[in-house]
């Protein structure tokens, strides 16, 4: 089965409504959500979606997407960043 990225419904709230969507996600998740600027990395915000975390989707000029999940940490959780690669897919968390 070929991977077909969703072109029209990839996000719930479009980037044009960034102020609204960041405020909405922050209210729904009970903590401040910030939408980081990734323009220096060649990616622009496409939009966001509410899941058990905030999902922020970015896209570069070639149509490749980067998705960032933001959630409130737990005080007992290890907050060390990790880079993992498996089967050609990389994750940074």
User: Would you place residue 90 in the very low, low, confident or very high pLDDT band (cuts 50, 70, 90)?
Assistant: confident
User: Would you place residue 11 in the very low, low, confident or very high pLDDT band (cuts 50, 70, 90)?
Assistant: low
Parallel, antiparallel or unpaired: strands 89-92 and 83-86: antiparallel
> From CA 55, how far away is CA 84, in angstroms rounded?
20
| Residue 61 confidence (pLDDT) | 92
> From CA 46, how far away is CA 44, in angstroms rounded?
6
- Given a cut of 50, whether residue 4 has pLDDT beyond it is no
Handedness of CA 48, 54, 59, 60 (dihedral sign): positive
The single-letter DSSP state of residue 2 is: -
Q: Determine if the pTM surpasses 0.85.
A: no
For 10-65, where are the alpha helices, taking DSSP H only?
A: 18-29
For 16-56, write each residue's pLDDT tens digit.
Answer: 788 888 888 888 888 888 888 888 889 988 888 888 888 88
> From CA 52, how far away is CA 29, in angstroms rounded?
8
| Residue 42 confidence (pLDDT) | 92
Tokens 């060390």 found at: 80
């Amino acid at each position: 089965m070929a991977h077909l990225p969703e072109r029209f419904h990839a996000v719930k709230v479009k980037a044009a409504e960034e102020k609204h969507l960041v405020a909405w996600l922050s209210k729904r998740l009970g903590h401040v959500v910030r939408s980081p600027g990734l323009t220096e990395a060649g990616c622009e915000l496409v939009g966001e979606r509410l899941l058990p975390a905030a999902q922020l989707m970015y896209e570069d000029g070639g149509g490749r997407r980067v998705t960032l999940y933001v959630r409130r940490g737990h005080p007992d959780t290890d907050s060390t960043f990790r880079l993992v690669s498996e089967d050609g897919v990389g994750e940074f968390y």
